[in-house]
Amino acid sequence: MLKICYAEERDRDFIRWTGNLLHSFLASGRVTVVRRRDRPDLMLASIWRPHEFPRGVPVVLVSNENWQVYPPHFALRRYRAVIGVCPPPQFYWGDGAPEPRPFIPYSYAAVHFDQPIEELYGQRAARLQVPKRSFCCFVVSNTVGGMSERRQRVFEQLDAWQRVDSAGALLNNTGYRAPRGAAFLDWIARYRFMICIENSQAPGYVTEKALQASLGGAMPIYEGAGLELFNRDAVVEAAGADLLGELHRLEADAIEYERRRRLELYARRPSLQAFEARFAELLLH
């Protein structure tokens, strides 16, 4: 059994979703989580803040971000392995490592939610039936990333045509914040569209944004690297030459809108199978 501790034992959000990432190993007893004082075999550290490198305990760095927006605090060669949603640029590895440290990719969309993703796909049919009484929603909390201004402009463009409910911290016009968890998907279900533009563009950097809309029964208005993985008919491309024109057409053609909205977002559903095989190969002894 591999004993894992966390660099930040009070970071509940990081512990929550990395627990989802390691769910099958925790459930099978191949991995257990211990305190730092309990002689762990491995330590998980998040990209968010600096941390220690305890003597005798190898450290694995875990990121759910675009490396160029949230760069590592230390050279990546110092880690036993690096886990992320997209490959880090070569210059972050640093010089002097006798051999390259392994990078293990994973799908953040498969671990973001508190419920197993298979259950959420099973619930999608019911959310697709919810009457669509409102045009579009937008839930963003910050202006981090190279595409943040772009998504604000898309919000303003669409809101000038039809009201877009903004229920995040940014540009809030609802007077409340959107709920969390499964209640968030229920809230999304009231809308025909949802603006789901990534905060930045990098090969492989795909978050949960568009999948939240699709699982909630809305059609994502999307821009980002996910287009390489998605069924392109299941989204409205925010970077398209005629965004408003496409939305006009979908608003006027209920049959075509329903056909596209009901398509699954991913050409192949997000899975942790490849991640789990690589994690077991490299880190479980």
Position 112 in a domain: no
Backbone dihedral region for residue 145 (phi beyond 0: left; psi -120 to 50: alpha; all else: beta):
left
Who wins on pLDDT, 112 or 240? 112
Task: At 127, list the tokens.
Answer: 């959310």
pLDDT score, position 196? 98
In-domain check, residue 266: no
With vertex at residue 192, the alpha carbon angle to CA 186 and CA 198, rounded to the nearest 5 degrees, is 80
Q: What is the pLDDT of residue 225?
A: 96
User: What pTM was estimated for this model as a whole?
Assistant: 0.93
pLDDT of residue 99: 60
d(CA 91, CA 104): 17
210 and 235 Cβ atoms separated by less than 8 Å: yes
Same domain, 231 and 130: yes
Give the CATH number for residue 254.
3.40.50.11660
Arithmetic mean of pLDDT, 30-49: 96
Q: Please tell me whether residues 125 and 237 are part of one structural domain.
A: yes
Q: List C-alpha distances in Å: 93 to 65, 99, 145, 255.
A: 16, 11, 22, 51
Tell me the per-residue pLDDT of 259-280, one tens digit each, with 9 for 90 and over.
999 999 999 999 999 999 999 9
Give the per-residue pLDDT at 18. Answer: 97
Residue at 124 is within a domain: yes
Domain that holds residue 219: 117-261
CA distance 33 to 20: 13
Residue 77 CB coordination number (10 Å): 16
